[in-house]
Amino acid sequence: MGGKNGGLGASHNREGARGGGHTIGFRWVSRQRLTPLPPRAEGRRRPPPSTPMALRDAPSSCPALWRSLRCPAAELRLDLVLSSGQTFRWRESSPGAWTGVLGARVWTLVQERDRLWYTVYGEEPPGPHTDGILRDYFQLDVGLPALYRAWGAADPHFHRVAGDFPGVRVLRQDPVECLLSFICSSNNHVARITAMIERLCQAFGRRLCQLDARPFHAFPSPAALAGGDAEAKLRALGFGYRAKYVSGSARAIAEGLGAEGLRRLRAEPYAEARRVLCALPGVGTKVADCVCLMALDKAEAVPVDTHVWRMARQHYGAAPGARSLTARVHQEIGDFFRGLWGPYAGWAQAVLFCAALHKGQDAAGSGKRARRGRESCGDKKP
């Protein structure tokens, strides 16, 4: 789990990340039996929130509602990327089908051979605009196989490990959602973080739709989490000491930096973006680097938790004399990997983190050892 310069064989042109989709040649047909609306609301095709929709888990189910992008497994593996602690809003709704919330819409994604199929639940059919959302989210303008080859040539350990974990790429997430989600990662593991974020969205987020018996909600705005009673509500939801930091950072964004100000950090240098983030309540160097890497276009950011620190010592001999993971050690390890892997060092670290995470799950089996294997290490603000 868990930045940006050219190099290492990557083609990175975000403005050109549009188009290239393929849609099945059927007319758009809504599956919903629409309830008549009052005259003022006529023309609005969205069903009432209480009207459940059926989950679509394969392109063969209502093919007119599916669209696809060319995306070989070497470029993207959904099962690895969506389950390795970068995001906490997706679940495998049926074998090979991943359903979650992206951009205040509910999606189901399926990979079949060299195509990424998707369907979006709502009143609008998928099209070039939804292609663009997915291309941006998965950063499909970055050529991953060339990066793997470059990292493997520079690093024998990466070469040994990465062959079993192709298609691991870094997501480009909404900065507010990414920040508040990773504040919840402190001393926590992926399964528990996922459950916490689900409760957060249900309590504070706008309801989007219901698929079968499961409701889906948008991630709440900073203003929704900045109220005077937000911290108490979060504690009641099981956030513990993190409640103070989630509501405090949401308030700092809502009343100061603003969601757009946070997004504008994408244009700032890595060091400046990290400095601004570390000034927010509950944000230390690890959380800041996660946000820099996964939301602010800093491909050079290398989040360092105890797992990465252990890997750096065991396989690379980095920071040999360090006895604890201080901000200085974090910087030293990050600099080491940036020197080894280059300007996309954070992406290379994401591959090795994913490999360690999944190998740990396989070895752990079940119970307490499996939960430790899913751990997304805590970050204590230094």
- Residues with a catalytic annotation lie at 286
Three-state secondary structure call for residue 283: coil
Q: Is 168 exposed, middle or buried (CB count within 10 Å of its CB: 0-12, 13-18, 19+)?
A: buried
Separation of alpha carbons 125 and 130, rounded Å: 9
Find the angle CA(291)-CA(175)-CA(172) to the nearest 5 degrees: 75
Separation of alpha carbons 156 and 74, rounded Å: 19
Compute CA 39 distance to the chain's CA centroid, rounded to the nearest angstrom. Answer: 41
CB neighbours (10 Å) of residue 148?
Answer: 24
Find the angle CA(139)-CA(140)-CA(146) to the nearest 5 degrees: 105
Lookup: tokens for 27: 């007319």
Question: What DSSP string describes 79-136?
Answer: HHHTTSSS-SSEEEEETTEEEEEETTEEEEEEEETTEEEEEEESSS---HHHHHHHHH
Element (H, E) at 250: helix 242-252
Element (H, E) at 147: helix 144-154
Question: In residues, how long is the chain?
Answer: 382
Bridge-based pairing of strands 66-70 and 21-23 is antiparallel
Separation of alpha carbons 211 and 56, rounded Å: 9
- Assess contact for 159 and 25: CB atoms under 8 A: no
Residue 188's contacts (CB-CB under 8 Å, 6 or more residues apart) are 196, 375, 376, 378
